[in-house]
């Protein structure tokens, strides 16, 4: 079975191992707006540990378990380094390349045969998946907007389809937005010197989202029914349902990135650094709300013709009320 446009691999421990968000599925699996593949480790840490990231413009990085860079790819070539940071090999795409094989953990592997021939494979308990994450030819003609800091470093890349990348003045990735036909995802990273980026927030256009304190504990949690805020120790500060009154929520993830929650569809991520700013709407996508509404109505219609108790029927209505 071919992977869906928004595909997740879950390890046996129910942790997200790998997420791929693709703008569209074509013969090459990509369209002009590209894709991003992010691999997470199977760890008990509350804040997921990223082990690799691949972008369809040819840039990629894999990390050792200690956080140091293992594999680095760009438009010119690539290199491998050991756990201490010493270079093991280096190559240019136009020259000879000895195939590279990495085992990020017992379930996820990476293979590099060429600029366009980069693959991520997943295998656990008999279930397997394989993704092509090399450079995409279609991106050569992509339409995009770029902004730069006064220093000349890149701040923002915005593709015509809505996908985007924002960078801190330090050069670290601040956030990535990937859009595709069925929705979008926005991931915010912290501006730290650690080689392995720390995720501070993730927003999905189906209404699910989570923001994390600097210690890794959940700060804000959103779903289709409502949301809640917690302090650094994990104690609940407030809780709400979308159909009830909501006092606006404002979070400052760091000195550059802020989050505002004004309603189910009115969730925003803002970025400001050295005079450059960007704002992204990351609330529930209207198209997805319509789809959920249709599905919920269909389920209610079907349940009306099924013999069940009043308590069971009331329970079904309660479960679906956030989608109506």
Report the C-alpha gap between 118 and 60 in whole angstroms.
Answer: 10
Q: Is the dihedral of CA 142, 143, 145, 146 positive or negative?
A: positive
The more confidently predicted of residues 147 and 2 is: 147
Residue ranges per domain, the chain? Answer: 6-139, 143-284, 288-323
Report the C-alpha gap between 200 and 207 in whole angstroms.
Answer: 17
Q: Which of 15-19, 141-145, 238-242 has the highest mean pLDDT?
A: 238-242
Confidence check: pLDDT of 77 > 80: yes
Mean of pLDDT over the chain = 78
The more confidently predicted of residues 169 and 181 is: 169
pLDDT tens per residue, range 188-244: 999 987 666 788 999 988 889 999 999 989 999 999 899 999 999 999 999 999 998
Across the beta sheet with 108-112, the strand order is 100-103, 108-112, 118-124, 127-132
Q: Which pair of tokens denotes residue 55?
A: 């972008």
Confidence check: pLDDT of 127 > 70: yes
pLDDT-derived band at 262 (thresholds 50, 70, 90) equals: very high
CATH architecture of the domain covering 6-139: Alpha-Beta Complex (3.90)
Q: Which pair of tokens denotes residue 211?
A: 């923001």
Report the C-alpha gap between 138 and 132 in whole angstroms.
Answer: 14
End-to-end CA distance of the chain: 32
């Amino acid at each position: 079975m071919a992977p869906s446009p928004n595909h997740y691999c879950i390890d046996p421990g129910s942790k997200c191992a790998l997420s791929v968000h693709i703008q569209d599925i074509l013969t090459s699996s990509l369209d002009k707006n590209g894709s991003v593949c992010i691999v997470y480790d199977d760890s008990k840490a509350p804040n997921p540990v990223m082990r690799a990231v691949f972008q369809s413009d040819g840039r990629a990085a894999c990390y050792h378990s200690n956080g140091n860079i293992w594999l680095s790819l760009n438009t010119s070539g690539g290199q491998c380094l050991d756990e201490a940071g010493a270079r093991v090999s280096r190559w240019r795409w136009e020259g000879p390349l000895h195939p590279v094989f990495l085992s990020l953990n017992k379930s996820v592997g990476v293979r590099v045969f060429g600029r366009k021939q980069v693959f991520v494979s997943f295998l656990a308990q008999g279930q397997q998946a394989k993704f092509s994450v090399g450079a995409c030819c279609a991106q050569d003609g992509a339409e995009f907007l770029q902004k730069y800091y006064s220093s000349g470093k890149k701040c923002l890349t915005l593709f015509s389809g809505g996908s985007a990348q924002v960078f801190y003045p330090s050069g670290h990735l601040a956030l990535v937005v990937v859009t595709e036909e069925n929705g979008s995802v926005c991931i915010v990273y912290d501006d730290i010197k650690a080689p392995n980026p720390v995720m501070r927030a993730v927003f999905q256009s189906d209404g699910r989202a989570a923001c994390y304190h600097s210690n890794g504990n959940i700060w804000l949690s959103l779903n289709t029914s409502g949301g809640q805020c917690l302090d650094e120790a994990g104690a609940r500060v407030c809780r709400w349902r979308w159909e009830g009154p909501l006092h606006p929520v404002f979070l400052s993830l760091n000195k550059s990135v802020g989050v505002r929650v004004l309603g189910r569809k009115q969730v925003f991520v803002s970025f400001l650094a050295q005079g450059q700013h960007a704002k992204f709407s990351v609330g529930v996508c209207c198209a997805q709300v319509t789809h959920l509404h249709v599905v919920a109505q269909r389920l209610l219609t079907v349940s009306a013709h099924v013999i069940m108790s009043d308590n069971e029927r009331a329970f079904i209505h309660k479960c679906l009320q956030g989608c109506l």
